[in-house]
Amino acid sequence: MSDYKRPQHVVTTGESSTCLQEISKPSRLIRRRCRCISVSGPDGSGKSSQIEAMRLRLKCEGDKPVVIWMRLGYTPGINCAKSLLRVFMGSKLPTAGNSRHRSRLMRNPSVRWLWLGVAIADLLVTLVVRVRVPKLQGHSVICDRYFWDSLVDRRVYFPTDLWAESILRRGFNWFGLKPTISILLLLPLEEAMRRSDAKAEPFPDTVADRTQRQIEYRALGTEDPSLLVVDASRPLDEVSAEIARLL
């Protein structure tokens, strides 16, 4: 797995004019404050763009939405721990990104199980603190990736560690906040790879991992009825309009 920093959600220059247009329109969203909305999907599916559209829409209607990015093994706590360990342990730890050193370490069951246990525990803390607290404070919460994306990461990177998925599911049932609406953005593998390559990700997955990730996301869309599947291969404005109707 590679170190990855969450995308920044930047306010566009046209925000003020968009707000004036949106706030004049009646909407069901204004009557549904303090919601939790999750957006899942593979890289290149347009999650960041659609989340920014939702954030702006909610903000224009008087809400103060909070966007939270989460992923198994890449929460702020884990990223901070990685940085500190690299300072003190130096070359004993692999550098950021995919490498033979990292693959060799993860083949060691003890190292892999320790890493998974810490990553799952930190993810559950994120679900409890970073998601629940803003909602209790009166904010809507938009989750850039959620529980389902962590399931996919487990299945792609650690396919033999079935115990980790069991703990993830139990932990989410006990501590997680069930979203008001869960959106799953899907698109063909070729289009997802084209978009991802255009973004020039610093640590892209291998083609094999991308393919398996697509398979797992499509399986989730079939097996979990709480996920609302949206065709993300269409233009961004069409996808945004469909999501607005779902909301």
Q: What pLDDT digit, counting tens, does each position of 153-209 carry?
A: 999 999 999 999 999 999 999 988 889 999 999 999 899 888 887 877 766 788 899
Kindly report the average pLDDT of the chain as a whole number.
80
In sequence order, the 6+-apart residues with CB closer than 8 A to the CB of 177 are 36, 127, 131, 132, 135, 141
| DSSP 8-state code for residue 25 | S
Q: Evaluate if residue 22 carries a pLDDT over 90.
A: no
The residue behind tokens 């003020």 is 16
Query: Which has the higher per-residue pLDDT, 101 or 20?
Result: 101
Residue 41 to residue 48: CA distance in whole angstroms: 11
Q: What does each C-alpha distance from 61 to 143, 149, 175 come to in angstroms?
A: 19, 29, 30
What pLDDT does 150 receive?
94
- φ, ψ (nearest 5 deg) of residue 227: -85, 125
Residue ranges in 107-161 assigned as alpha helix (H):
109-126, 132-136, 147-157
Distance of CA 12 to the CA centre of its chain: 22
Q: Evaluate if residue 212 carries a pLDDT over 90.
A: yes
What percentage of residues in the chain have a pLDDT greater than 90? 40
pLDDT in tens, 100-145: 656 677 778 888 898 899 899 889 888 888 888 888 888 899 999 9
Task: Give the least confident one: 30-34, 43-47, 207-211.
Answer: 30-34
In sequence order, the 6+-apart residues with CB closer than 8 A to the CB of 30 are 61, 62, 63
Q: Evaluate if residue 151 carries a pLDDT over 90.
A: yes
What pLDDT does 62 receive?
84
3-state secondary structure of 229: strand
What pLDDT does 70 receive?
87
Q: Evaluate if residue 236 carries a pLDDT over 80.
A: yes
Across 77-101, b (16+ Cβ under 10 Å) vs e yields: bbbeebeeebeeeeeeebebebeee
Q: Evaluate if residue 81 carries a pLDDT over 80.
A: no
Q: Which tokens is 18 given?
A: 């968009």
What pLDDT does 165 receive?
93
Q: Evaluate if residue 16 carries a pLDDT over 70.
A: no
